[in-house]
Amino acid sequence: MTQNSLEICFTPAAFEAHADSEAVVVIIDVLRATSSICTAFANGVREIIPVETVEEARAMKARGYLVAAERDGYVLDFADFGNSPFNFTPEEVKGRSVVYSTTNGTGIMKRASVCHDVVIGSWLNISVLCNWIAEQGRKVVIVCAGWKKRFSLEDAVCAGAMATRLLESGKFCTICDSVHAATDLWMMARTDLLGYMEKAAQRSRLRDKGLDDCIPYCHKFDVTDVIPVLRGGRLTTL
């Protein structure tokens, strides 16, 4: 069996070193962007338009779009709502287009679009996503959104869990130290995932702002079978 290469990029700042036009890229931002995106599609959103800057999001609001936007966890003053998965209810998003701009997760999406496929990963869709990836026959790069170009523990652990599943499929191999580090983190966290996440900096940031109600939900396995994919600058589902 031919094995495909598997890599993990721990921060967007290192992405160019991993970029490959033939690769499948998985973007992970557990707290909270990719968890929210998966939730939105599970609740019937038609499409999500990720934008990198506040100015872009504001301009799209002026054009009449529903806008979800935050910086440092706080909802922007012109936005309809922020970045919690609990904002993306069927009542708010079903059948609608949503413009989305966040501190970390949405910025890497445009840069990753140079690759063959860009898909959205989280604990919420981990099984269906790993099964799909294993059938693509391509190099895979898992990109952690991190925090302002820095390492984030919660993203690395999720990436490690995905990498473990992909390596166990027998269809992938790796000589990437980030993969070895992430899978080791997952092995340490797996018996008490939420307990392990207590040490995560983003967990503390959200708690200090009263935004940590979604953390248990964001660490639930297999809540949905949606696989969001970026095509033509817009997220839809496979």
Residue 97 has pLDDT above 80, yes or no: yes
State residue 103's pLDDT score.
Answer: 86
Q: How many CA atoms lie within 13 A of 161 on its CB side?
A: 24
State residue 158's pLDDT score.
Answer: 98
Residue type, 91: E
Average pLDDT of span 57-77: 94
Residue 7 has pLDDT above 90, yes or no: yes
Average pLDDT of span 72-79: 92
State residue 211's pLDDT score.
Answer: 92
The domain locations on the chain are 4-229
If pLDDT is split at 50, 70 and 90, which confidence band does 5 have?
Answer: very high
Residue 1 has pLDDT above 90, yes or no: no
At 10, list the tokens.
Answer: 């721990």
State residue 133's pLDDT score.
Answer: 98
State residue 189's pLDDT score.
Answer: 98
CA distance 151 to 63: 35
Find where tokens 């989305």 sit.
Answer: 100
Average pLDDT of span 173-189: 98
If pLDDT is split at 50, 70 and 90, which confidence band does 77 have?
Answer: very high
Residue 151: C-alpha distances to residues 46, 64, 128, 146 (Å): 32, 35, 26, 5
Q: For a pLDDT cut of 70, what percent of the chain falls above it?
A: 100
The predicted-structure confidence for 8-59, as pLDDT tens digits, reads as follows 999 999 999 999 999 999 999 999 999 999 999 999 999 999 999 999 999 9
If pLDDT is split at 50, 70 and 90, which confidence band does 105 have?
Answer: confident
Q: Which residue, 115, 70, 103, 104, is CA-closest to 88?
A: 70
State residue 49's pLDDT score.
Answer: 97
Residue 107 has pLDDT above 90, yes or no: no
pTM, 2 dp: 0.96
State residue 64's pLDDT score.
Answer: 96
Overall fold of domain 4-229: putative 2-phosphosulfolactate phosphatase (3.90.1560)
Residue 146 has pLDDT above 90, yes or no: yes
Backbone angles phi, psi at 23, to 5 degrees: -95, 155
Residue 2 has pLDDT above 90, yes or no: no
**Mean predicted lDDT score pLDDT of the chain:** 96
